[in-house]
C-alpha cells in the first residue's frame, strides 16, 4: 500500500495498512477518515467486513456503517460479529474474512473485543487478511486492540499515577506499542504516560477523535502518517527515568526524559527509528515566477550601475516605469476604428 501527497491510500501488494482511529470519526460532513478507508479498500471494488463485537448495539452500529461505506462507494459490506470465543473458533466466522479487502472494528468495550478475538482462529484470520493486503481499521475500542498492549480501562487526567489504568493483550498488529483513543478530548495523557513508565520498551500512541494514524510497512519499516482533524501524540520512553517500580498506589509517578511528538494531519513518522520524517518542500509556481522576475531586475540594476554613473534610485524608478508600461494594455487599433465609425454614424443620424 502507498499514500500520495494527499494521503490517499492505494491498494498494492504486501501487507495492508493499519488505520488506528481515535473515535468519533465524522460521519455527516467531510467524512475524511472514512473516505480514506473506503478508497484504501478499493473504492468501487471494496468488500468490507464490519466487526461490531465490542459494541452493545451491534446490529444498529453495523447498519450505520453499512449505509456509510456504501454511500462512499464500497461494493459490498458484510457483518461479522462473533459474540463468544466459541463463535471465534467457528469456521463460518473465520471464512467470512477470507475475501474481504478491508476490516473495520467498531467502538465499544475493548476488553470484551480482546476477550472474544485474541488468541482465536478469528483473530488469526484478521492477521491473515492484513498479510494478503487487506486494510485493517478500527475506531475507539477497535483502535486500542490493534496494538500489542491494550488499555483495558482506567481514568483520565494529565498527571501519571500508579494504577490509574490497567493493560491487557491486544492483537499485536502494531508491534511494541500501546494505543489510547479519544486522547485529547478525554485527557488521557496521564494514563498513557503511566503505561510507558511501567513498560519503557513500548511507544505510547494517543489518537485524537476524528483522526487516524495510518501505519504502512515500507521497505521493512513501519511508517505512520496522520489523517483527519486532530493529532497523534507519541511518547517515546527509550531513555526515560522513572520510579514506577517503587511508587505507592495512586501516587504521582516520576517520568523524566520522555520524548514527546505531536503529529498533526500530514505529518510522517518512522516508528522503527522513532524519528520524524521531514516533509518535502512544496514550491508555489506563481511565487517562484515572482522571485525569478525580481532576480532578473536586480541583475539588470547591477549591470546598469556598473555601466554608467547612475544612482540606484534613478534606476529603480526606470524599472518601475518599465513594469507599469508592460502592465498597461495597448489600445486595440480595430476597436479604435470601430469606435470612430460609430461616432461618425451617430453624428450623421443626429
Catalytic residues: 140, 182, 209
Q: How many CB atoms lie within 10 A of CB 291?
A: 11
324 vs 300, 320, 328, CA distance in Å? 17, 6, 6
Pairing of strands 203-207, 231-236: antiparallel
Residue 78, Cβ density class (10 Å: 0-12 exposed, 13-18 middle, ≥19 buried): middle
What CA–CA distance (Å, rounded) separates 304 from 345? 52
What CA–CA distance (Å, rounded) separates 61 from 42? 22
What CA–CA distance (Å, rounded) separates 143 from 147? 8
Chain position carrying cell 461618425:
344
Amino acid at each position: 500500500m502507498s499514500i500520495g501527497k494527499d494521503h490517499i491510500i492505494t491498494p498494492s501488494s504486501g501487507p495492508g495498512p493499519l488505520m488506528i482511529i481515535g473515535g468519533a470519526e465524522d460521519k455527516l460532513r467531510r467524512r475524511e477518515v472514512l473516505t480514506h478507508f473506503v478508497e484504501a479498500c478499493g473504492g468501487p471494488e471494496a468488500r468490507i467486513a464490519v466487526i461490531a463485537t465490542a459494541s452493545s448495539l451491534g446490529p444498529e452500529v453495523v447498519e450505520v456503517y453499512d449505509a456509510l461505506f456504501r454511500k462512499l462507494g464500497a461494493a459490498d459490506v458484510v457483518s461479522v460479529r462473533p459474540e463468544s470465543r466459541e463463535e471465534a473458533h467457528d469456521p463460518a466466522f473465520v471464512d467470512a474474512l477470507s475475501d474481504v479487502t478491508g476490516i473495520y472494528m467498531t467502538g465499544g468495550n475493548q476488553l470484551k473485543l480482546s476477550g472474544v478475538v485474541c488468541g482465536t482462529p478469528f483473530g488469526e484470520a484478521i492477521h491473515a487478511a492484513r498479510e494478503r493486503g487487506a486494510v485493517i481499521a478500527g475506531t475507539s475500542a477497535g483502535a486500542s486492540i490493534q496494538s500489542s498492549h491494550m488499555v483495558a480501562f482506567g481514568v483520565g487526567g494529565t498527571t501519571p499515577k500508579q494504577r490509574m489504568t490497567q493493560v491487557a493483550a491486544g492483537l499485536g498488529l502494531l508491534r511494541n506499542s500501546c494505543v489510547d483513543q479519544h486522547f485529547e478530548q478525554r485527557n488521557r495523557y496521564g494514563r498513557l504516560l503511566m503505561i510507558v513508565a511501567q513498560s519503557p520498551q513500548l511507544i505510547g500512541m494517543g489518537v485524537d477523535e476524528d483522526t487516524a494514524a495510518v501505519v504502512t510497512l515500507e521497505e521493512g519499516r513501519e511508517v505512520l502518517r496522520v489523517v483527519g482533524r486532530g493529532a497523534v501524540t507519541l511518547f517515546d520512553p527509550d531513555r526515560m527515568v522513572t520510579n514506577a517500580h517503587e511508587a505507592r498506589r495512586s501516587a504521582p509517578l516520576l517520568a523524566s526524559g520522555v520524548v514527546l511528538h505531536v503529529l498533526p494531519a500530514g505529518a510522517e513518522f518512522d516508528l522503527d527509528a522513532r524519528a520524524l520524517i521531514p516533509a518535502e518542500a512544496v514550491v508555489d509556481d506563481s511565487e517562484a515566477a515572482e522571485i525569478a522576475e525580481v532576480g532578473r531586475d536586480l541583475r539588470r540594476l547591477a549591470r546598469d550601475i556598473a555601466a554608467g554613473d547612475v544612482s540606484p534610485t534613478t534606476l529603480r524608478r526606470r524599472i518601475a516605469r518599465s513594469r507599469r508600461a508592460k502592465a498597461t494594455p495597448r489600445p486595440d487599433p480595430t476597436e479604435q476604428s470601430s469606435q470612430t465609425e460609430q461616432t461618425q454614424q451617430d453624428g450623421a443620424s443626429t
